[in-house]
Structures are given as structure tokens and as C-alpha cells.
Amino acid sequence: MKFFPKTKKLLISSFIFMICFHSLLSQSKSCEPISEDRKIEILLKKIGNFEGSFIRNGELHESKEAENHLRYKLKEAKTSFFAPDPKDWTAKLFIEKIATKSFLSGTPYKIRYRNGKEVLSSVWLYEELKNIERCP
């Protein structure tokens, strides 16, 4: 089947336009924003579901216990006279002020993987936060 030259050009142009338009639409899609409270909740759940241990003041704690401890610390911090207003808490503030070190001793918290590798909880949590904020 032969196309007339103008028809062929029109089909090719239409095809190119469709590809470009589809590409533009794909790029313009944005991720749904996640509230800071939701990010904190996701981080807490990730801690509680982590397959390894949480090291606090040199002692090993189960992941679920670590999640509960950090929930308690967060609740106390949000009601503290010195803390920011609860609506102003961000996931980064949660990591910095609650989930990285002992309030009493100042000792950094660590995460221990099942293979024995240890990392500071701040390193692990900031990486998890990046994953949460990344567009799929």
C-alpha cells in the first residue's frame, strides 16, 4: 500500500508528536506529597520491622522495642516546653533530636544488621528517608 508523500509526512509528524507529548506527560507527573507526620510514622515502622538489632547505650534491643522507645521519646519531646510546636516536627527533626542518640548519655544509637555490620542510626534513617521521599 502506497501513501501519498504528504500523508506519509503527516503520519510521521503525528507519531513524533505523540511520542514527545507522552514523554512530557510522563515527566510532568509528580509524586504525591507525604506529610511529615506520615514520614515519621513510616520511619518508626521501618525501625520496628528491621531485621536486626538496635543498639542503645551499648545494649542490644529488638527492633520492636526500639520502635516503642522512639515513639515514647517522640511523644515526650512533642509535649516538652522546649520543643517545637508538634505541627512543626519534620522527619529530619525526628531523626536529629529523637532517633540518633541517647538523651541522657549522648551516646549515638546504632543499627546492627543480622550479618553483624553496624551503622549509626542517623546514617540508616537518613537513607530510609531518602527512599521515602523518592518518586517511584
The three-class DSSP label of residue 3 is: coil
Residue pLDDT, tens place only, 111-130: 999 999 999 999 999 999 99
Residue pLDDT, tens place only, 58-71: 999 999 999 999 99
Percent above pLDDT 70 for the chain: 76
User: Can you give the pLDDT at residue 136?
Assistant: 61
Neighbours of 49 (CB within 10 A): 10
Q: What is the rounded distance in angstroms from the CA atom of residue 121 to the CA atom of residue 96?
A: 10
Neighbours of 102 (CB within 10 A): 13
Residue pLDDT, tens place only, 69-82: 999 999 998 888 88
Q: What is the rounded distance in angstroms from the CA atom of residue 1 to the CA atom of residue 58?
A: 79
pLDDT grade, residue 8 (50/70/90)? Answer: low
